Amino acid sequence: MKVLVVLVLAGSVLCFAEGNDLEGRETLTDGFFGLNDELADTGVEIGLGLTQIYQQNVRGGISKHRRAGRYAGSYDIELTADLQRLLGIEGGAFFMHTEGFWSKSGGIDGPSVGSAFGVNADGCPRNAIIVTEFWYEQSMLDGQLLFRVGKMDLTGGFDCHGCPVAFDTSAFANDETTQFLNGALVNNPTIPFPDYALGAAAFYSPIDWWYAAAGVVDAQNDFRENGFKTTFGDEDYFFYIFETGVTPRLASANGPLPGAYRVGLWIDAQDKFRFSNGKRYRDDTGFYLSCDQMIHKENSNPEDTQGFGVFGRFGYANSDLNEIGNFWSFGVQYQGLIDGRDDDVLGVGFAQGIFSDFAGANDDTGYTDDHESVLELYYNAAITGWLNVSPSVQYVSNPGGNRTTSDAVVLGLRLQMTF
DSSP characters over 121-170: TT----EEEEEEEEEEEEEETTTTEEEEEEEE-TTS-EEETTEEESSS--
Q: Delimit the domains of the chain by residue range.
A: 2-418
Three-state SS letters, 364-377: CCCCCCCEEEEEEE
pLDDT tens column, 72-96 = 999 999 999 999 999 999 999 999 9
Closest CA to 296 of 255, 346, 236: 255
Task: Band the pLDDT of 1: cuts 50, 70, 90.
Answer: very low
**CA–CA separation, 160 and 259 (whole Å):** 10
pLDDT beyond 50 at 10: no
Task: Band the pLDDT of 37: cuts 50, 70, 90.
Answer: confident
pLDDT beyond 80 at 43: yes
**CA–CA separation, 333 and 413 (whole Å):** 18
Instruction: Give the predicted TM-score (pTM) of the model.
Output: 0.90
* Topology, domain 2-418: Porin (2.40.160)
**pLDDT over 70 for what percent of the chain?**
93
Average pLDDT of the chain is 90
